[in-house]
Chains A and B, each alone.
Chain A
């Protein structure tokens, strides 16, 4: 039973070119346009604010005014579908990539992807990481067959641009300076405990983690990483993984039954 008052009200809220809905009145005006504008403004400003709080580095890069204009277009074209505004803007990075006035900043969309991953990590399920001793006791013959269950907060953002450096410089983590070494960086975003962490992955680290996340056994994941980059260092990557609390569990292969041998 959608009521006419809701439909015309909602349509006029999102499209400022529409006249204010019929049946709306005030004690001192028959067409209270400025009063209706309060609602229009609340909706737009509130949603732009939600994007600003999720994408502060993007805002820093393009400036407040540019960001507000860009976010307004996004809000009008893709208003949220859920009252959980923490998830609003999952498709903002794709919007940034296609946003013509931001064409001179080809890395902007990937920085937005990194920031979107940060909020996902922030709200991800909690889980206690396993300690290094679990790896120490593994049978070296079977190690290639184990599967590593990653922490639920783990996110990987691959980029041909130095997004971790750019993000760090625009979020107060690092001093703003000329980027000396302009090359691709793959970001690892995670929250093993209560703080969200962002770091640049070593060569083929992203390929390795993505294979593990997909459920591949350790040996196959290492092969995939070596195919991605021959400089892949299994020991270093594994140590990094365990040390940063990203391993939630280790699953051993089912022992083979006698009829399978």
Chain B
């Protein structure tokens, strides 16, 4: 594991091809762009042409959604090799994936699915992270999930599970604050309690995104991690709290569905950047 994750501690935006012209038209006040790894695994064509142009101008974060690190089955070696080729081609400042599984019995389920937190799953996920970091020759970041259910067999809290994974493997953590909020509300707990024990030292990136609201089995609100709307006020408040406590960290605006125009995304990034700049000024003072 030679390459350490090192995105600039500024605001960044998840890249969507619809914004390509706007982005290249002028220098953007952003620290980095993030892309989903699986969208750049074809042989050629416009995806690579665009990613190449972005990489020439900005720091890049490659974010995988299909490696199924949280599965108890072996990792897909072919997919791991595709990730390795992508990282070698674009030399991103950071590579990240999720504490979740998405493949089972050779079927790709196309969702970030939850796992029980036990000593057994902990050992297995740690093996997978080791395998990824060894194959890629770099540190990876692991993202906390948003969840809608729990497993009765779980014996560990999610924060303890992530903390232990980071200790055992040396991986960094990607703290998705919207996921913290969504999961806490869905499980009747407090997001601040979750954040209180989160190992901020290991946080190398923060994600901010929007969520929707539905209702659960007893008619209570159920929050859905949709990345299809503005970041909620409550999530901004939590973000300010995290930045004040942990200091400025690379922060991504994620908006994957009903993608808005470029100025709308830039405005979200500017809000995050203001909070980051305030924290930097406060720590310098």
Contacts and interface: CB of A to CB of B under 8 A. Distances in A.
Interface of A: 1-3, 5-7, 9-10, 13-14, 23-29, 31-36, 38-39, 42-43, 46-47, 50, 79-86, 121-126, 152-153, 191, 194
Contacts of A35: 148-149, 186, 216-217, 222
A33 B217 contact: yes
Contacts of A123: 42-45, 47
A10 B187 contact: no
Interface in B206-229: 214-218, 220, 222, 224
B150 interface: yes
Given A1-B72, A122-B45, A50 B150 contact: no
Contacts of B46: 122, 194
Contacts of B215: 34
Contacts of B187: 26-27
B51 to A, nearest CB: 13
Contact of B102 (A27, A83, A124): A83
A84 B217 contact: no
Interface string B25-49: 0000000000000110111111111
B42 A32 contact: no
B66 A86 contact: no
5 closest Cβ pairs, A-B complex: A83-B66, A123-B42, A126-B44, A125-B43, A10-B104
Contact of B113 (A7, A9, A126): A9
Contact of A1 (B39, B73, B108): B73
B45 to A, nearest CB: 5
Contacts of B67: 83
B152 A25 contact: yes
Given A1-B73, A43-B111, A23 B45 contact: no
A29 B217 CA distance: 7
A28 to B, nearest CB: 5
A81 to B, nearest CB: 5
Contacts of B186: 26, 35
Contact of A81 (B42, B101, B108): B108
A26 B108 contact: no
A43 B109 contact: yes
Given A29-B218, A34-B222, A39-B148, A47 B45 contact: no
13 contacts: A13-B111, A23-B151, A26-B186, A29-B217, A34-B217, A36-B149, A46-B110, A79-B107, A79-B108, A84-B41, A121-B45, A126-B48, A152-B44
Contacts of A34: 215-217, 222
B45 A194 contact: yes
Given A29-B217, A39-B113, A124-B44, A24 B150 contact: yes
A1 B124 contact: yes
Given A10-B105, A47-B110, A5 B153 contact: yes
Best-buried of A121, A126, A191 by chain B (most CB within 10 Å)? A126
Nearest to A31: B217
B65 interface: yes
Contacts of B42: 84, 86, 122-124
Interface string B74-111: 00100100000000000000000000011111111111
Given A34-B217, A81-B106, A26 B44 contact: no
Given A23-B152, A34-B215, 6 more contacts: A6-B72, A13-B111, A24-B149, A26-B217, A34-B222, A79-B109
Contact of A25 (B47, B115, B150): B150
A5 B116 contact: yes
B72 A2 contact: yes
